[in-house]
Chains A and B, each alone.
Chain A
Amino acid sequence: MKFRYAYLVTILILLPSMLLTGKGEEDNYSVYCAVLFSAPDEASMLGYAHPARSVGLFRREIDGSWHNVHHPNLFSYGLGYSHHNDTFRLYIAGGNGLHRSSDDGKSWKVLTGWTTEDILSVAPHPYDSTIVYVSTPFGVFKTSDDGQTWREKMEGMERWFVQKVVIDIDSAETVYAAAEDDLYKTNNGGITWEALGVGVPQILEIVQHPQNNDILLAGTEDHGVYFSHDGGETFMPGNGFPETAAYAIGFSGDGTRVYAGGYETGLWKSTDNGETWKLIWDDDSFDAIYAITVNPYDQKHIIVGTNGAGLYESTDGGVTWQHAGLYGAHVQQIKFVPGS
């Protein structure tokens, strides 16, 4: 519950400044995305001579263009942020490890060493900036001392590949891990994990309803989207979504709708927390959707990251779509980041 209060407090703090400046709510956010690869031809459209130069963490500028906020060849899988006591931190989960910036992306430090290899996702603790979880091809790692040391947290896990870690919206000791064989949950900060028994292997994505932590949605490699409405006790396959890869799932800020996409699926929408799905958009210019985010202050503003075709966005709830930049990019994650 504390995290929800923090969310509310953030809104209350931001609201007066928004009213005073006359700016819209969205102006108090930046949009970031993590780019893993970029196709050479498309990269040249970005003005980069070398494809590797168009990967990394990008921030959207006021004019709608995207600016690489890190060294320009960081292969990036994910991003995260935390905001405590006036300290804002950005994290990049990348090929060189977990990167952290405390000065809005001006300087960065790699926090992990050689043992963790690629960092596939990052989950900073909502209230304690010294605690961060990361998922890697060799399990979940956790730091409790601000990145100085990392401990492997795998007790109870059968296999070692973990695509994503997510901290529960109400209890920071509860963490979910999307792993090769199942979805795992810990209630004690990663000391021990239990398999939730989704029923199919290769869990690639896990998201929680923004207000109801009993509602969980899991994306799988070969069996579409699974949902649980009882905190992970039971899982059922989402009705209508194709039985293929579901790489990305994104809730609207109010939780009234959720979007999902994957390999050759197009974008799907559910208004009953993942139980039934309807196709709302497809496009031949890409074969997979890797990332979905919804503006937390504008439920109709959706941004989708694709495999090799950059970003698309809709401002009318998915009825019409426009290309939103980063041609050629393989976008792994997109976030609206408050206060940056």
Chain B
Amino acid sequence: MDILKYILKRLSFILSLVCALVVISQAMNTDEYDRYLAGYKERAEFLSMAFDTSSNLTYYSVAAKYAGGTYIDEADSMLLELLKDPRGDMFWMFPVIGAYLYGKEVMSPEVRDAVRNSWKTYAPYRGDTENHWCMYYTSLYLAAEQWPDLPGQEWFNGKSSAENLQKAREYIIHWIEITTTIGQGEFDSPDYLPEYMIPMLLLADFAKDPAMRKRGKMMADYLMADFAVEHLDGQYVGGFSRITEPGVYEPLRSNSSAYAYLYFGTGEPRITQWILFPALSRYRLPEIIYRIAVDRDEAYVHKERKRVRNVIRYGDEINPPVYKYTYMTGDYALGSLQGGILQPIQQQTWNIRFTSGRPHTAVFGLHPYWSGYELAMFFPQRKKTLVADVVPSKQTYNQPDKWTGGSPYERTFQHKNTLLVLYDIPEGTNSEHISGFFPKTLDEVIHGDSGWIMMRAGNTFIGWYPFREYDWIEEEINWRLHSPYRQNGYIVEVRSTDEYQSIADFVSALQDAIPETNLQQNEVEATYRNPEGDKLQFTFPDRRYLNNSPVHIEDYALFDGPYLQAEVGSQMLTIRYKDMVRVLDFNTLKISEQ
């Protein structure tokens, strides 16, 4: 009995201790999240202050003034001035309805009438991409809610308030449904994240219909979770649907980095109009997403399935799948799409991004391809004149030295922190070479006898093994690898000081890691065994073997990694972090938490 009592006593002590630890841990967690929220508030105030006190004639300054409840007269006169000449189409719609929604209770009746009248007299263009439609229809939805029961004559498009409300609602629900079933079309864009987040936040804050408010909030969670899991030190990482210069080689210049600063407290403060509405919003990032964004203690593989934006010509499917693979560590991330034309103009098929050597914290390669054929896949104008139509707004598109864009003649195969890239470029293609970007902020670059180009960026070691001869060209902020061979490829290896003590060790490990290649036209292939002993066999375009077993990228889920899981078609996203779970169920519009 004494023994039993002793055991019970001990057990009860241990149980009490565990309970106490859990309570303390939760208290610490709560404290940490409270600290996060306090920091968030400071950052939001800092960002909105730049607009609140600004006399620049923008809808953003107006919105900030109304939201802050200060300088109302100034905001009124600014808004009246702006509404004399509305322009910007869907880029006009959301800031003007946003400013109105923040100010409608305090603005003068004259200004209120001017805003209303602008939705009658100015006809914004709907645009031709997913982000345009998201901005257009969400803004139209909110406006139609604000001015119900008006006949068609009172709206720029001749539709009544009820018609506009219904059509806009249908589109928003369609976009959410397609995104949560087969993936976002303009996915993971460092530059275009705000074009989706702002409409969703305005919806979450101001929709009168509770279901639409909920949709806005849940999609904000969805987009931010999608970002968080591929976020490193203020940077979006992995393959991108759309990225522009300079963000492609200076990651913190992308608009999503302003979101990283506001929501994750990472990177650097960045004042841009694209952050104003998030800074004003009542939306708060759920703790679980914040923690996923900043915890990089353990390396992980994260896979995703997205979709190509609407293919109107030359395709067998309207929205073919995109397969993403990202390897994340605390020092670097290596990420890739499978290759091919997945988006027009601004795709980035693969990159390495790292935490050291700001501002140019990226290494990547590409085939700088352009064609009317590519553009005609996505835009309805004529194939032969499309390049000339596009270049005025996308000036680098037809430049052989450009740094963005996908190619039908490029394919990737990634396994953890090893990447194999192959090119099989037909003669006569724009252009017939491949390029690599290497920033001058790298700490070391060694062109070794083995053929490997070895680099160090802080704690990150990068090895690049070109299959063909190349020129190493010095440019203003970078070296350019230029290899003028149409059948081509390279291996990229990335490791950190967790794995190798010095770059010398890394050089030594890769010394004998030389791929076998066949670089004949229509027969481009490579076999490679990495320092860990994994064997990658890759035949262009899509035959991939890992350790002699076929790799079925077509089996990828919408999200598959330690933090995010979602099945194709599910309309559900499960977010996990340690013992925390949050499920976004778009079928029932419910959020459940553990």
Asked if B31 is an interface residue, CB under 8 A from chain A, the answer is no
The answer to whether A71 and B122 touch (CB under 8 A), given A204-B382, A288-B385, is yes
Asked if A226 is an interface residue, CB under 8 A from chain B, the answer is no
Among A37, A50, A70, A160, point to the contact of B389 (Cβ < 8 A). A37
Asked if residues B382 and A36 are in contact (CB atoms below 8 Å), the reply is no
Please tell me which stretch of B154-162, B257-265, B332-340, B542-550 contacts chain A, meaning at least 4 of its Cβ atoms lie within 8 angstroms of it: B154-162
From A118, which residue of chain B is reached at the shortest CB distance? B380
The answer to whether A114 and B318 touch (CB under 8 A), given A96-B125, A161-B312, is no
Asked if residues A109 and B125 are in contact (CB atoms below 8 Å), the reply is no
Complex CA gap A291/B123 in Å reads: 26
Among A74, A117, A161, A180, point to the contact of B125 (Cβ < 8 A). A74
Asked if A221 is an interface residue, CB under 8 A from chain B, the answer is yes
From A264, which residue of chain B is reached at the shortest CB distance? B384
Question: What chain B residues lie within 8 Å of A97 (beta carbons)?
Answer: 126
Asked if A287 is an interface residue, CB under 8 A from chain B, the answer is yes
Size of the chain A interface, CB-CB below 8 angstroms: 44
Asked if residues A221 and B312 are in contact (CB atoms below 8 Å), the reply is no
Question: What chain A residues lie within 8 Å of B157 (beta carbons)?
Answer: 96, 108-110
The answer to whether A73 and B171 touch (CB under 8 A), given A110-B157, A180-B313, is no
Among A50, A114, A120, A290, point to the contact of B380 (Cβ < 8 A). A120
Complex CA gap A287/B171 in Å reads: 38
Asked if B295 is an interface residue, CB under 8 A from chain A, the answer is no
Question: What chain B residues lie within 8 Å of A120 (beta carbons)?
Answer: 380
Asked if A75 is an interface residue, CB under 8 A from chain B, the answer is yes
Q: Is chain B's binding surface mostly helix, strand, loop or mixed? A: loop
Asked if residues B153 and A107 are in contact (CB atoms below 8 Å), the reply is yes
Asked if B128 is an interface residue, CB under 8 A from chain A, the answer is yes
Within 8 A of A (CB), among B374-394: 380-385, 388-389, 392
Asked if residues A288 and B122 are in contact (CB atoms below 8 Å), the reply is no
Asked if A138 is an interface residue, CB under 8 A from chain B, the answer is yes
Question: What chain B residues lie within 8 Å of A73 (beta carbons)?
Answer: 89, 123-125
Question: What chain A residues lie within 8 Å of B313 (beta carbons)?
Answer: 137, 159, 161, 180
Question: What chain A residues lie within 8 Å of B409 (beta carbons)?
Answer: none
Asked if residues A113 and B385 are in contact (CB atoms below 8 Å), the reply is no
Question: What chain B residues lie within 8 Å of A288 (beta carbons)?
Answer: 382, 384-385
Asked if A189 is an interface residue, CB under 8 A from chain B, the answer is no
Within 8 A of B (CB), among A202-247: 202, 204, 221, 244-245, 247
Asked if residues A114 and B123 are in contact (CB atoms below 8 Å), the reply is no
Complex CA gap A188/B314 in Å reads: 28
Instruction: Mark each residue of chain B from 118 to 139: 1 if its CB lies under 8 Å from any CB of chain A, else 0.
Output: 0001111111100001000100
From B123, which residue of chain A is reached at the shortest CB distance? A71
Asked if residues B125 and A263 are in contact (CB atoms below 8 Å), the reply is no
Asked if B152 is an interface residue, CB under 8 A from chain A, the answer is yes
Asked if B167 is an interface residue, CB under 8 A from chain A, the answer is yes
Asked if A295 is an interface residue, CB under 8 A from chain B, the answer is no
Asked if A307 is an interface residue, CB under 8 A from chain B, the answer is yes
Complex CA gap A202/B312 in Å reads: 12
Distance in Å: Cβ of B241 to nearest Cβ of chain A: 19
Complex CA gap A71/B382 in Å reads: 25
Complex CA gap A107/B158 in Å reads: 8
Among A50, A108, A114, point to the contact of B133 (Cβ < 8 A). A114
Asked if A255 is an interface residue, CB under 8 A from chain B, the answer is no
From B157, which residue of chain A is reached at the shortest CB distance? A110
Question: What chain B residues lie within 8 Å of A221 (beta carbons)?
Answer: 382-384
Asked if residues B380 and A247 are in contact (CB atoms below 8 Å), the reply is no
Complex CA gap A40/B392 in Å reads: 9
Complex CA gap A313/B128 in Å reads: 32
Instruction: Mark each residue of chain A from 249 to 282: 1 if its CB lies under 8 Å from any CB of chain B, else 0.
Output: 0000000000000010000000000000000000
Question: What chain B residues lie within 8 Å of A244 (beta carbons)?
Answer: 384
Asked if residues A114 and B171 are in contact (CB atoms below 8 Å), the reply is yes
Distance in Å: Cβ of B76 to nearest Cβ of chain A: 25
Asked if residues A114 and B170 are in contact (CB atoms below 8 Å), the reply is yes
From B377, which residue of chain A is reached at the shortest CB distance? A161
Distance in Å: Cβ of A109 to nearest Cβ of chain B: 3
Most A C-beta atoms less than 10 A away, residue of B87, B158, B159, B389 = B158
Asked if residues A109 and B384 are in contact (CB atoms below 8 Å), the reply is no
Complex CA gap A36/B89 in Å reads: 15
From B316, which residue of chain A is reached at the shortest CB distance? A159
Most A C-beta atoms less than 10 A away, residue of B124, B126, B156, B388 = B126
Asked if residues B137 and A109 are in contact (CB atoms below 8 Å), the reply is no
The answer to whether A137 and B312 touch (CB under 8 A), given A37-B389, A108-B158, is yes
Complex CA gap A247/B381 in Å reads: 11
Asked if residues A36 and B381 are in contact (CB atoms below 8 Å), the reply is yes
Asked if B174 is an interface residue, CB under 8 A from chain A, the answer is yes
Asked if A52 is an interface residue, CB under 8 A from chain B, the answer is yes
Distance in Å: Cβ of B248 to nearest Cβ of chain A: 26
Distance in Å: Cβ of A147 to nearest Cβ of chain B: 10
Question: What chain A residues lie within 8 Å of B318 (beta carbons)?
Answer: 138, 160
The answer to whether A109 and B159 touch (CB under 8 A), given A40-B392, A50-B87, A52-B89, is yes
Most B C-beta atoms less than 10 A away, residue of A50, A70, A71 = A71
Among A95, A109, A308, point to the contact of B152 (Cβ < 8 A). A109
From B86, which residue of chain A is reached at the shortest CB distance? A73
Complex CA gap A326/B126 in Å reads: 24
Within 8 A of B (CB), among A60-83: 70-71, 73-75, 77
Instruction: Mark each residue of chain B from 449 to 467: 1 if its CB lies under 8 Å from any CB of chain A, else 0.
Output: 0000000000000000000
Asked if residues B125 and A247 are in contact (CB atoms below 8 Å), the reply is no
Complex CA gap A108/B313 in Å reads: 30
Question: What chain A residues lie within 8 Å of B382 (beta carbons)?
Answer: 204, 221, 245, 247, 263, 288, 290
Q: Which 4 A-B pairs have the closest CB atoms?
A: A109-B158, A71-B123, A137-B312, A110-B157
Q: 17 A–B contact pairs at CB < 8 A? A: A52-B125, A73-B89, A73-B125, A74-B123, A109-B158, A110-B157, A110-B158, A110-B159, A113-B170, A114-B167, A138-B310, A221-B383, A221-B384, A245-B383, A247-B382, A288-B382, A288-B384
Which A residues contact B (CB, under 8 angstroms)?
A: 36-37, 39-40, 50, 52, 70-71, 73-75, 77, 95-97, 99, 107-110, 113-114, 117-118, 120, 137-138, 159-161, 180, 202, 204, 221, 244-245, 247, 263, 287-288, 290, 307-308, 330
Known: A36-B381, A99-B158. 9 other contacts (CB 8 A): A52-B125, A71-B121, A74-B125, A95-B128, A114-B171, A202-B383, A221-B382, A288-B382, A308-B388
